[in-house]
Structure 1
Amino acid sequence: MESGALTSHIDVAQVTLYAFWAFFVGLVWYLRQEDRREGYPLEADVSGEYSKDPWLFLPQPKTFVLFNNQGTKTVPDQVRDTRPIAAERLTVAPGSPLVPTGDPMADSIGPGSYAERLDIVETNPDGSNRIVPLRTTDEFQVVEDDPDPRGMSVVGCDKQIAGTVTDLWVDKSDSLIRYLEVQLEGAGTVLLPMPFCVVRTGHIYVHAVTSEQFAGVPTTASPDAVSRLEEEKIAAYYGAGQLYATPERQEPLL
């Protein structure tokens, strides 16, 4: 072999290909471990049994430092959701749907289910609340040429008026409206997520719930702030209405 001819008898292209394959397999293995830090290990659909120490893909615990001095979080932590399920299985077969046994609008069932996020207010990097009503800030306003929802009536899927929009809650980080604050016809105020709203001439139409069901929307502990957990519960309530607001919605279309 001549001096310096290190690759005379080595297929460099083939070695490079094998090295790439090894790297790619390792990358996939790493990514599949990382995306299982929460929500795993899975439990059996029928029996609810699960393995605390599955050998495949489950990563070793890692501790993360949370935003804005909110402490630390170690995952996976093997903590399971122990909330009682107010429903029963339609059949014993795997994948069988759950039939609500209580109030499906409030029992976290199906489209009304939600994650138990921390009951703290989402904040910006400067420590200020991320989502705030317009009455508490002068940084945002409705453009003159756009319709201002404030003062508009809110109509449920039964075509009856539930209340009136009194304020807009804006996301200061994303610069958009997250919620409408609705003063109900009876008493109290509730938040209405914008994705459930259809802005029409002179009123806001909400297909998710009836006018009477607005009274059951989860409220916030503070009149000027909404926590992460409260956001989950509010969105879940309207989500549940998509299926459970009226008996007809649970029936087949054909």
Structure 2
Amino acid sequence: MQSELINTHVDLALISLYVFWVAFAALIYYLVRESRREGFPLLNEVRGELVVRNPMTPPPPKSFLTLHHGRIVPETPERDLTGLLSPLGLLPGAPLQPLGNPMADGVGPASYALRADVSDMTFDDNTPKIVPLRTAPAYSIAAEDPNPVGFAVITADGRVAGTVVDAWVDRSDMLIRYLEADAEGTTGQRRIVFPMFLATIDRNRREVNVVSVMSHQFLEAPGLQNPDTITLREEDRISGYFAGGHMYATPSRFGPVV
């Protein structure tokens, strides 16, 4: 026997609709609050004044369990770019003009993030993932591939900037990530690590071409704290430096094409 209370006095379909509306409104409220975690409070780019778009309260801090620092409340460190960039106009979103050496300052295409200043680790045995072959005897370059060790490093100005002395292997992905060169004229006192994917190997001429930088810029590239390991922050900075040279290495590369 069916209950007359449910059938005649309660409209389950209407109640379900009301529940859906309430849940959907709560979801929108939650997503809008979560979207205010990054980029708030809003500041006027020109005057630096606080711009209030919505008085909605920001969400409470959220903690994350990280590999290198344990459980933390993220406060993303920002690089201090004071005195390194200047806007070309007084309009919000105006392009920023480098004031000094953009490659050394790490701005624009040469910019880098303040990642953890520790080495990336392998998943299995928690050891540094990217290391030079001299410290990883279990790895070697395949016989059918050119071994760049001993090849001259030729930069965009056609000069010899160094000699390759080692290759850095990614033990997780099984590929060469970086090459290491003895800078020209330093006889081992200055070693340069540069991205493999920004270099072209010429087996016949025994050359490694790095066309993103000039010879003097190659010698001034960022170095490593430890000669046998590379940290996440160093990876970003080195990659940004050499990649940024495609735009900043010479005056002819800088600025708009047309």
Please tell me whether the aligned partners of residues 41 and 54 of structure 1 are also in contact (alpha carbons under 8 angstroms). Answer: no
Alignment of 1:163-174 (within 5 A): 163-174=162-173
CA distance in structure 1 between the aligned counterparts of 2:105 and 2:152, rounded to whole angstroms: 28
Q: Give percent identity, aligned residues only.
A: 37
CA distance in structure 2 between the aligned counterparts of 1:55 and 1:243, rounded to whole angstroms: 42
Answering whether residue 67 of structure 2 is matched by residue 63 of structure 1, we say: no
CA distance in structure 2 between the aligned counterparts of 1:174 and 1:221, rounded to whole angstroms: 24
Q: Summarize the Cα distance change of 1:234–1:78 in structure 2 as closer, same or farther, 3 Å threshold.
A: closer
Larger Rg: 2
TM-score by length of 2: 0.79
AA at the equivalent of 1:114: Y
Q: Summarize the Cα distance change of 1:56–1:244 in structure 2 as closer, same or farther, 3 Å threshold.
A: farther
2:98 to 94, 97, 100: 100
AA at the equivalent of 1:47: R
- Which residue does the alignment assign to 2:71? 72
TM-score by length of 1: 0.80
When the two structures are aligned, how many residues end up with a matched partner? Answer: 251
Please tell me whether the aligned partners of residues 153 and 160 of structure 2 are also in contact (alpha carbons under 8 angstroms). Answer: yes
1:250 aligns to what SS in structure 2?
coil
CA distance in structure 2 between the aligned counterparts of 1:25 and 1:138, rounded to whole angstroms: 60
Answering whether residue 225 of structure 2 is matched by residue 230 of structure 1, we say: no
CA distance in structure 2 between the aligned counterparts of 1:100 and 1:253, rounded to whole angstroms: 18
- Summarize deviations over 1:209-235 as a string: whole Å, max 9, x none: 012211111100111011122122212
Alignment of 1:201-212 (within 5 A): 201=203, 202-212=206-216
2:111 to 102, 110, 113: 113
AA at the equivalent of 1:218: P
2:234 aligns to what SS in structure 1?
helix
2:86 to 85, 88, 95: 88
2:245 to 241, 244, 248: 241
Q: Summarize the Cα distance change of 1:243–1:49 in structure 2 as closer, same or farther, 3 Å threshold.
A: farther
Q: Summarize the Cα distance change of 1:191–1:238 in structure 2 as closer, same or farther, 3 Å threshold.
A: same
Offset, 1:60? 2.2
CA distance in structure 2 between the aligned counterparts of 1:149 and 1:25, rounded to whole angstroms: 61
Offset, 1:160? 1.7
Please tell me whether the aligned partners of residues 32 and 57 of structure 1 are also in contact (alpha carbons under 8 angstroms). Answer: no
2:213 aligns to what SS in structure 1?
coil
2:230 aligns to what SS in structure 1?
coil
Root-mean-square deviation (CA, aligned residues, Å) is 3.5
Please tell me whether the aligned partners of residues 83 and 99 of structure 2 are also in contact (alpha carbons under 8 angstroms). Answer: no
- Summarize deviations over 1:176-234 as a string: whole Å, max 9, x none: 21111111112211111122112333322222101221111110011101112212221
Extract unaligned runs of 5+ from structure 1: none
CA distance in structure 2 between the aligned counterparts of 1:78 and 1:185, rounded to whole angstroms: 38
CA distance in structure 1 between the aligned counterparts of 2:175 and 2:7, rounded to whole angstroms: 60
Please tell me whether the aligned partners of residues 121 and 228 of structure 1 are also in contact (alpha carbons under 8 angstroms). Answer: yes
Please tell me whether the aligned partners of residues 209 and 242 of structure 1 are also in contact (alpha carbons under 8 angstroms). Answer: yes
AA at the equivalent of 1:178: R
1:155 aligns to what SS in structure 2?
strand
Answering whether residue 218 of structure 2 is matched by residue 214 of structure 1, we say: yes
CA distance in structure 2 between the aligned counterparts of 1:36 and 1:181, rounded to whole angstroms: 43
Offset, 1:172? 1.6
- Which residue does the alignment assign to 2:159? 160
Please tell me whether the aligned partners of residues 42 and 52 of structure 2 are also in contact (alpha carbons under 8 angstroms). Answer: no
- Summarize deviations over 1:19-74 as a string: whole Å, max 9, x none: 4x877776677667667655555543323445799755954211222215x33320
Q: Summarize the Cα distance change of 1:66–1:214 in structure 2 as closer, same or farther, 3 Å threshold.
A: same
Is the deviation greater in 80-89 or in 130-139? 80-89
- Summarize deviations over 1:63-111 as a string: whole Å, max 9, x none: 222215x333203x38654442412221212222222222222112211
Extract unaligned runs of 5+ from structure 2: none
Please tell me whether the aligned partners of residues 124 and 173 of structure 1 are also in contact (alpha carbons under 8 angstroms). Answer: yes
CA distance in structure 1 between the aligned counterparts of 2:161 and 2:70, rounded to whole angstroms: 41
Please tell me whether the aligned partners of residues 166 and 183 of structure 1 are also in contact (alpha carbons under 8 angstroms). Answer: yes
